[in-house]
Amino acid sequence: MPPRFISRQLSRPTGPFARVMALLMNRHNANMNAFAVQHLELTPSDHVLEIGFGGGATLPSLITGASFVAGIDPSTEMVKRAKNRHAAAVTAGRAEFREGRVEKIPFGAGSFRKVCTVNTVYFWQSLDTGFAEIYRVLGRGGRLVVGFLPKEWMDRLGYPADIFTSRTPDQVVASLGLCGFTHVRIERPQPTTRWNVVVATR
């Protein structure tokens, strides 16, 4: 089982280890992040929200491909890092980063055309609460992309159950439907790929 310290750092990087955790997350999640961004199908007029951006691996692609990018993350250190790394975009009003969690997204209803989140559903208090909040901040016809490692594989990693809550694809799809999302589908680059990227429409 991974040490509890590492598990807690993965859920919310803090202190002097935050930078190291950011680098590790970016490297480990690179393929899933790239695949998730691909399925956002960004356009130059899009307003995009990333929930739990962590090390910020997707942010350069989002900022390049969209009109405005917002990000929320529970980690103070990750928010500061994003603001520093993308200071020009923040100053130009094309990016904004705030501390926050999916259960209470600090943006108004219908603020975004696209929302993405990768490897965060394990830390949500409730799938239904999280997806309901995402539904609120998405405009009609907006797209949500969710990347995660399903329960059957997540459980084999041995993360503490009080920090990580494993999710099955069926649970994610059912919750999306309950919250009003439509055209829900699961995408993977190869049939043997263990992680899933779920695409849904508001």
Domains of the chain as residue ranges with CATH = 4-201 (3.40.50.150)
Contact 145, 115 (CB under 8 A): yes
Q: Name which of 146, 124, 164 is nearest 201 in CA terms.
A: 146
User: What is the full DSSP assignment across 84-113?
Assistant: HHTHHHHHTTSEEEEE-BTTB-SS-TT-EE
Q: What is the pTM of this model?
A: 0.87
- pLDDT tens per residue across span 27-78: 667 889 999 999 999 999 999 999 999 888 899 999 999 999 999 999 998 8
